[in-house]
Structure 1
Amino acid sequence: MKYRVRHITEYLYNAPVTLCYNMAHLLPRDTLNQRCLSRRIKVTPTPVYQTNGEDYFGNPTFYFSVQEPHKKLAIDVECYFEIEQNDVSGQLSLHGLTCKELRQQLTEASTPQLRMVKEYTLDSLHIRRSKALADYARDCFLDNTPVLQASMDFTHKIFEEFTFDPAATSVSTPAEQVLKEKRGVCQDFAHLAIACIRSIGLPARYMSGYLETLPPPGQEKLVGADASHAWFAIFIPDLGWVEFDPTNDLMPNEQHIVTAWGRDYADVTPLQGVIFDGGDSQSLNVSVDVQRV
């Protein structure tokens, strides 16, 4: 399946910004089943310096600097790419590694891959492990339960018990607060799942990208359509990172478009940087269009 994604980000300031330096995570990355065919990024005003790069996690990055006064900054990204369908549902019945066995493999860490994966069992900027989070996940991740089945059960648990509410949280809302209030958005549900999984000693990472939906006649559209989206992945030896979407209660397939991954949202913020001046307030407008081509 081939897709076109256009993502427009606009910042409006109440006073001129005299200088800005930025790094963007806006370009979809190549994965085992996703291949970028072409990509274009345009910044207005025109930067005096811009370059492509790659971060610690292998995500494509775009650095730029604007050194002329401006009250509006616009970043217009257009990408074409191809996604191959995977039989993700078949993995549940074919892989029987239990939670206890995975914990034991992580303790021994007998391969370089397992030693690197242990980074995703630790705390990060937006995720802190706790007993309360471990207790919430423990009934799904019992010692003798296969990890994949436990992850799917936990994904369903979050989907059933939490309410999608864009007004309930902010980017920095702690996972324990989300757990208490049972409300949030896709980013919150991804952070919550990761925090719970790490709290029971298993590796989980944050996935950022887009969600394309074409619902069958008579069915409702998936939450998060035509917007940035977030979900999580858990590491399984022999399979690698297997993805789950608690916002929509499914295992991502060809409709999930990966932009970047990391320990949490802070590692893959769409745009981050430094501005000089710009007044005491700013507004942000984001437009995302995902189309099959």
Structure 2
Amino acid sequence: MTDVKLAVHHVTEYTYEASVEWAYHAACLAPRHTPWQKVSDWRLNIDPLPDGWGVEGLELDTGELARHLRRDPWGNRHLSFGHARVHERLVVDSRFEAELSARPVPEPGRGQAWEAVAAGLRYRAGRALQEADEFALASNYAAPDETLRAYARRAFSPGRTLAAGGLSLMHQIHTDLRYLPQSTTVATRAADALALRSGVCQDFAHVFIAACRSLGLAARYVSGYLLTRPPEGVTKLVGADASHAWVELWCPEQGWLALDPTNAVPAGLDHVTLAWGRDYADVAPLRGVLRGGGVATLRVGVAVEPVQEV
């Protein structure tokens, strides 16, 4: 399939019932450049204008926005900003374009058995550290346990290749968990989502990651977006019109296998990558602390549409 170019528009709006006197926020909204994704024209508007920002609508290419960004250990760019002025509303508006190329399709018959991959990730004295190592360790939202291990073993039968097991687990989670908004919260952990047998894309991803880690495998959380309006005749994927999440499973022979358990498909030309980390906590799009405000009403809008070339 030929490359596609998508325009992404992500708006987050908080309306507070009382005045906010002081606030400090952290955002992970800077899209990544990857071998399969080229990003251009990223533009960020924040209203009210953060302290220390001299102009509205900062653009990365000008360098004005770049000086406010910091990189985390995984190469994601985070933005911190604050307000020392009284306000009753906060709007964060992010726009960019992404040109996507087809990723390699996971090959279930290629590679080592999953047990050999897990053994290779096991710590031993003198072994050089690998990129995948820390993604095999427990994290807040995706901690291994015996229930998750038993659940993972249904997909990763003895001697099965890691890629085949990962694809099987993706389909298993899609079948066993019901996509049900508001059945969980941003604080729900993998074990809880599995017990509930329901959740949203964040929960599907956490269950996959924690299940793999329970077997000693490495998997990471990917935040991003889905194409809002697919081509005519193509079914719209679950999770469009909002931020989305999927996973990447480390396979030594094939690299990071991008799998979307919410939709039971490998990530492809519908998936725009924003950031990746150990779990949601590392790449939350927007979080903050504030004084005042009372109860906040949140509205999030996402549009991902093909760019119409002139």
**Cα 1:119–1:108, aligned 2, differ >3 Å: closer, same or farther?**
closer
Deviates more, 1:139-148 or 1:49-58: 49-58
Per the alignment, in what secondary structure is the counterpart of residue 171 of structure 2?
A: helix
State the partner residue of 1:74.
Answer: 91
TM-score (norm 1): 0.93
Per the alignment, in what secondary structure is the counterpart of residue 285 of structure 1?
A: strand
Amino acid of the structure 1 residue aligned with 2:271: H
Rounded Cα–Cα distance in structure 2 between residues aligned with 1:108 and 1:27: 33
Amino acid of the structure 2 residue aligned with 1:18: E
Instruction: Give the conservation status (yes or no) of the 8 Å contact 2:229–2:305.
Output: no
State the partner residue of 1:226.
Answer: 241
Superposed displacement of residue 96, structure 1:
2.2
Aligned residues: 289
Instruction: Give the conservation status (yes or no) of the 8 Å contact 1:27–1:79.
Output: no
Rounded Cα–Cα distance in structure 2 between residues aligned with 1:213 and 1:289: 6
Superposed displacement of residue 273, structure 1:
2.2
Residue of structure 1 aligned with 2:166, choices 147, 151, 163: 151
Q: Deviations over 1:140-163 (max 9, x none)?
A: 112311111110011011111221
Per the alignment, in what secondary structure is the counterpart of residue 166 of structure 1?
A: coil
Rounded Cα–Cα distance in structure 1 between residues aligned with 2:301 and 2:123: 46
1:198 counterpart = 2:201? no
The alignment's C-alpha RMSD in Å is 1.7
Amino acid of the structure 1 residue aligned with 2:71: E
Per the alignment, in what secondary structure is the counterpart of residue 132 of structure 2?
A: helix
State the partner residue of 1:56.
Answer: 73
Per the alignment, in what secondary structure is the counterpart of residue 92 of structure 1?
A: coil
State the partner residue of 2:149.
Answer: 134
1:25 counterpart = 2:28? yes
Per the alignment, in what secondary structure is the counterpart of residue 115 of structure 2?
A: helix
Amino acid of the structure 1 residue aligned with 2:80: Y
1:243 counterpart = 2:246? no
1:167 counterpart = 2:182? yes
Instruction: Give the conservation status (yes or no) of the 8 Å contact 1:130–1:199.
Output: yes
Rounded Cα–Cα distance in structure 2 between residues aligned with 1:211 and 1:142: 32
Amino acid of the structure 1 residue aligned with 2:147: A
Instruction: Give the conservation status (yes or no) of the 8 Å contact 2:140–2:189.
Output: no
Q: Deviations over 1:221-258 (max 9, x none)?
A: 21111210011111112432111101000110121111
1:15 counterpart = 2:39? no
Deviates more, 1:212-221 or 1:166-175: 212-221
State the partner residue of 2:271.
Answer: 256
Amino acid of the structure 2 residue aligned with 1:24: A
- Greater per-residue helix proportion: 1
Rounded Cα–Cα distance in structure 2 between residues aligned with 1:33 and 1:140: 28
Rounded Cα–Cα distance in structure 1 between residues aligned with 2:262 and 2:283: 19
Q: Deviations over 1:23-72 (max 9, x none)?
A: 11112111121111120001101112351221222112122122211000
**Cα 1:111–1:42, aligned 2, differ >3 Å: closer, same or farther?**
farther
Per the alignment, in what secondary structure is the counterpart of residue 262 of structure 2?
A: coil
Structure 2 portions without partners, runs of 5+: 54-67
Superposed displacement of residue 264, structure 1:
0.6
State the partner residue of 2:104.
Answer: 87
Q: How does 1:107-126 map onto structure 2 within 5 Å?
A: 107=122, 112=128, 114=130, 116-126=131-141
Instruction: Give the conservation status (yes or no) of the 8 Å contact 2:27–2:284.
Output: yes
Rounded Cα–Cα distance in structure 1 between residues aligned with 2:45 and 2:168: 42
Rounded Cα–Cα distance in structure 2 between residues aligned with 1:113 and 1:209: 28
1:292 counterpart = 2:294? no
Amino acid of the structure 2 residue aligned with 1:75: V
Superposed displacement of residue 177, structure 1:
2.2
**Cα 1:238–1:38, aligned 2, differ >3 Å: closer, same or farther?**
farther
Per the alignment, in what secondary structure is the counterpart of residue 197 of structure 1?
A: helix
Instruction: Give the conservation status (yes or no) of the 8 Å contact 2:122–2:216.
Output: no
Structure 1 portions without partners, runs of 5+: none
**Cα 1:158–1:188, aligned 2, differ >3 Å: closer, same or farther?**
same
